[in-house]
Amino acid sequence: MKMIIRGSVIGVFVGLGISIIMSYIFASGKYYPMSPHSMSGEYFYSQLSETTTFIIALASWALIGNGFNLASQVFRHEQWSNLKMTIIHLFIVIAFFFPLSVLSGWYPLTLKAFLSFVTLFIIIYTVIWIIMYFINHRRIKEINRQLNS
């Protein structure tokens, strides 16, 4: 239960932060939890109240946070290689994150958008993976140094 609450809170805060930044840049002083020019945004803003649209955005952000949180459980399989864990994690995250990003109004549901999403996601994922690799490598060296002394 803690894991679900934690994933939801992180997802909502990240989604809210992104929506505030995007609204500030693109919405001329108005706040939109999802782009009114996206497929989802056009539908929700024309069919539902702003409050209901906001609740849908909150729910999709919470699901995104939980998806990342649950996908991270892949790294608990110590018998798997780092490469296998990373590739499985990457595919799981892309599989749930793209549909939820479409629902959140971040991407349209087109092949071009999907390819753009996957390309950008893999670049960001790789940068984060490299940073985490060096952080963990440094931690392991420090632990080994302490064990040897």
Whether the full predicted model's pTM is greater than 0.85, yes or no, is no
Give pLDDT, residue 106.
Answer: 81
Q: What is the pLDDT of residues 41-70, one digit of tens each?
A: 889 999 999 999 999 999 999 999 999 999
CA dihedral 134, 140, 145, 146 (to 10 degrees): 130
**b/e per residue 105-123 (b: at least 16 CB within 10 A):** bbbbeeeebeeebeeebee
Angle, helix 39-47 to helix 50-71, in steps of 10 degrees: 140
pLDDT at position 139 is 94
Measure the CA–CA gap between 69 and 3, rounded to whole angstroms.
Answer: 7
Per-residue pLDDT, 138: 95
Say if residues 44 and 55 touch (Cβ distance below 8 Å): no
